[in-house]
Amino acid sequence: MNETILNIYLVISNGLVAEFRAMAYEMEGGDDRKIEFLKSKAREDFNNAYKFDAPADKQGKFMSYNRFHKLEKRGMHFQLFEEIFSSFKVAEQPLVCVTPVVDGEIYSS
């Protein structure tokens, strides 16, 4: 059965999470195969990925990467991706590969 899987980019500029980007695929098979596929597409997908607003406070200031990392360690970072998930109409607990892009450099294996 096909599943929507996502490459999500965490665009970090000067230590702040300034933007999200995402690219979706329909794929079947095991999770390991899907993750390897997403990783293999990470560099080429970035420029064509859909752009999404990053979280900002009431003054319009972006979240620091350190704060994002604290949310990530507690498994709460997925709440920040809700707009992405609804845009691509993914099921609950979608399979995603999150790739940081720090000051223009894509960090993928």
Q: Write out pLDDT tens, residues 11-65.
A: 999 999 999 999 999 999 999 999 999 999 999 999 999 999 998 889 989 999 9
3-state class of 30 per DSSP?
A: coil
Whole-number pLDDT of residue 93: 84
Q: What is the pTM of this model?
A: 0.91
Instruction: Give kind and range of the element (H or E) at residue 73.
Output: helix 65-73
Look at the chain and count its residues.
109
- Could you tell me the two tokens for 33? 């195969």
What whole-number distance in Å separates Cα of residue 2 and Cα of residue 21? 22
Q: Give the three-class secondary structure for 99.
A: strand
For residues 42 and 7, is the Cβ–Cβ distance under 8 A? yes
